[in-house]
Amino acid sequence: MRHMLYPDEYMDSTYAIDFKKLYKDGYRGILFDIDNTLVPHGAPADERAIALFKELKQIGFTTCLISNNKEPRVKSFCDKVDSDYIFKAGKPLPGGYEEGIRKMKTTKENTLFIGDQIFTDVLGAKRAGLYTIMVKPIHPKEEIQIVLKRYLERIVLFFYFRSIRKKSVEK
């Protein structure tokens, strides 16, 4: 079970990811979480997010945002970045991820997921069979249920980073 909680990669920010390399590696679709992955919790799409999605389209990616939020929040964000979306996705259940893959007309093998939470984002993407990139949350202000999960995430991340260090020492 613990490997289902480990992302395939961990990055400081969505905006630090080398998307051209991911495209070169064969990925064609990207599922994104919104809050604290692309913008602070509850914030509208900003210029940085809009520019990112424009760049992703130029590279050749298809995108879909997957959120447990209600449609008004998700639709208003996606209208600004020009992306498909899934609202009330039921993360960490795999159904929302699979629906996003169908909307993008990609496959599990050429789709990846980017999010900031282990117990919803990473776990759900792993259950759906996707490559996962976890990013540090953009802003510390979050809803209380997320704050509580962050304490448990710290424990998982401690062992995740330890396993990475151990693998690099073994090489």
Q: Can you give the pLDDT at residue 1?
A: 45
Structural domains in the chain, sorted by start: 9-170 (3.40.50.1000)
Q: Can you give the pLDDT at residue 161?
A: 80
Per-residue pLDDT tens digits for 92-122: 999 999 999 999 999 999 999 999 999 999 9
Task: Return phi, psi of residue 132, to 5°.
Answer: -125, 140
Tell me the pTM.
0.88
Per-residue pLDDT tens digits for 48-71: 999 999 999 999 999 999 999 999
| Average of per-residue pLDDT across 77-98 | 97
Which position has the higher pLDDT, 22 or 137?
A: 22
Non-local CB neighbours of 38 within 8 Å, separated by 6+ positions: 14, 32, 45, 49, 52, 77, 138
d(CA 76, CA 44): 8
66 within 8 A of 85, measured Cβ to Cβ: yes
| Average of per-residue pLDDT across 72-89 | 97
Per-residue pLDDT tens digits for 2-24: 588 999 999 999 999 999 999 99
